[in-house]
Amino acid sequence: MTFNDYTLSAPVRKALDKLGFTAPTEIQQRAFEVLIGKQDTDFHGQAQTGTGKTLAFGIPLIEKIDPSKRSTQALVVAPTRELVLQICQSLQSVAMFSGISIESIYGGMPIEPQVRSLRRGVQIVVGTPGRLNDHLRRGTFGLKDLSVLVLDEADIMLDMGFKEDIDEILSFAPERRQIWLFSATVKGGIQDIKNSHMANPVTISVSGNNVTGATTEQFFCTVPRKFKLDALRRFLDMADDFYGVVFCQTKIMASEVAAKLGKAGYAVGALHGDMSQAMRNAVIKDFRTGKYKVLVATDVAARGIDVNDLTHVINYSFPEDEDSYVHRIGRTGRAGKKGVAITFVERGQLERVKRLARRFKVDINPINIPTMDDIMSMRMDQFVGTIDKLCTTKIGQSVPARKLYDLLMARPQQELAQGMYNMLCQTILKGYEESNSVEFAASTAYDQQGGGDQENIQEIAISLGQEDGINKGDVLNYLLDSRVIKAKEINKIRVIQRRTFVIVPAQLAAPLLEALRGRSIAGKKARVMYAQ
pLDDT per residue as tens digits for the range 432-477:
554 444 556 555 555 544 434 444 677 888 988 888 888 888 898 8
Q: Let me know: does 463 contact 499? Beta carbons within 8 Å.
A: yes
Last residue of a domain, one of 207, 231, 263: 207
Residues 353 and 419 in one domain: no
Distance between CA atoms of 486 and 392, rounded to whole angstroms? Answer: 71
Residues 109, 130: one domain? yes
Q: Which residues contact 299 (CB under 8 A, 6 or more apart)?
A: 247, 319, 320, 324, 327, 328
- Check whether residue 410 and residue 479 sit in a common domain: no
Distance of CA 460 to the CA centre of its chain: 27
Same domain, 201 and 286: no
103: helix, coil or strand? strand
Residue % of the chain over a pLDDT of 70: 90
In a domain, 440, yes or no: no
3-state secondary structure of 290: coil
Cα three-residue angle 113-119-121, rounded to 5 degrees: 115
**Bigger pLDDT: 425 or 175?**
175
Domain contains 445: no
Q: How many domains does the chain have?
A: 4
Q: Is residue 164 part of a domain?
A: yes
Poorest-pLDDT segment among 143-152, 355-364, 370-379, 389-398: 389-398
Separation of alpha carbons 500 and 491, rounded Å? 14
Contact predicate 295/271, CB 8 Å: yes
Which amino acid is it at 76? V
Answer yes or no: do 196 and 180 share one domain.
Answer: yes
> 527 falls in which pLDDT band (50, 70, 90)?
confident
Does residue 437 form part of some domain?
A: no
Sign of CA dihedral 167, 169, 173, 178: negative
| Residue 377 within any structural domain of the chain | yes
From 207, 242, 265, give the residue that closes a domain. 207
Which of 246-260, 328-342, 437-451 is predicted least confidently?
437-451
In this structure, the answer to whether residues 253 and 358 fall within a common structural domain is yes
Residue 214 confidence (pLDDT): 60
pLDDT for 50: 67
Supply the mean pLDDT for the chain: 85
Least confident of 12-16, 202-206, 313-317, 375-379: 375-379
What does residue 470 show for φ and ψ, rounded to 5 degrees? -95, 140
66 and 86 in contact (C-beta within 8 Å)?
A: no
Cα separation of 464 and 471, whole Å? 10
Residues 465, 424, single domain; the answer is no
- For residues 162 and 79, the answer to whether their CB atoms sit within 8 Å is yes
Domain of residue 526 covers: 450-530
Residue 494 pLDDT exceeds 70? yes
The CATH number of the domain where 236 resides is what? 3.40.50.300
**Is 441 domain-assigned?**
no
Query: Are residues 195 and 318 part of one domain?
Result: no
User: Are 7 and 129 part of one and the same domain?
Assistant: yes
Going by the DSSP 8-state scheme, the letter that residue 320 receives in this structure is S
Q: Please provide residue 22's backbone torsions phi and psi, each rounded to the nearest 5 degrees.
A: -120, -45
Let me know whether 52 and 176 are in one domain: yes
The one-letter amino acid code at 114 reads Q
- State how far the Cα of 529 lies from the Cα of 526, in Å rounded to an integer: 10
Strands 202-206 and 178-183: unpaired
**Cα 299 from Cα 70, distance rounded (Å):** 37
174 and 79 belong to one structural domain: yes
Classify residue 81 as left (phi > 0), alpha (psi -120 to 50) or beta: alpha
Question: Between residues 47 and 303, which one has the greater pLDDT?
Answer: 47
CB 49 within 8 A of CB 74: no
Distance CA 337, CA 493 (A): 38
The domain spanning residue 464 has which CATH number?
Answer: 3.30.70.330
Closest to 50 measured CA to CA, from 196, 178, 206: 206
Query: Which residue blocks in 95-186 are alpha helix, DSSP H?
Result: 111-120, 129-138, 154-159, 163-172
Cα distances (Å, whole numbers) of residue 296 to 77, 134, 223, 320, 512: 26, 31, 18, 17, 39
Locate all alpha helices (DSSP H) within 184-339, ordered by sequence: 188-197, 209-212, 228-238, 251-263, 277-288, 322-329
Q: In this predicted model, what pLDDT tens digit does every residue of 254-297 receive, in sequence order?
A: 999 999 999 999 999 999 878 887 888 899 889 989 999 999 99
Q: Are strands 43-47 and 202-206 parallel, antiparallel or unpaired?
A: parallel
Last residue of a domain, one of 207, 241, 262: 207
**Domain for residue 404, yes or no?**
yes
Backbone dihedral angles phi then psi of residue 247, each to the nearest 5 degrees: -95, 130
111 with 58, same domain?
yes
Q: Residue 438 falls within a domain, yes or no?
A: no
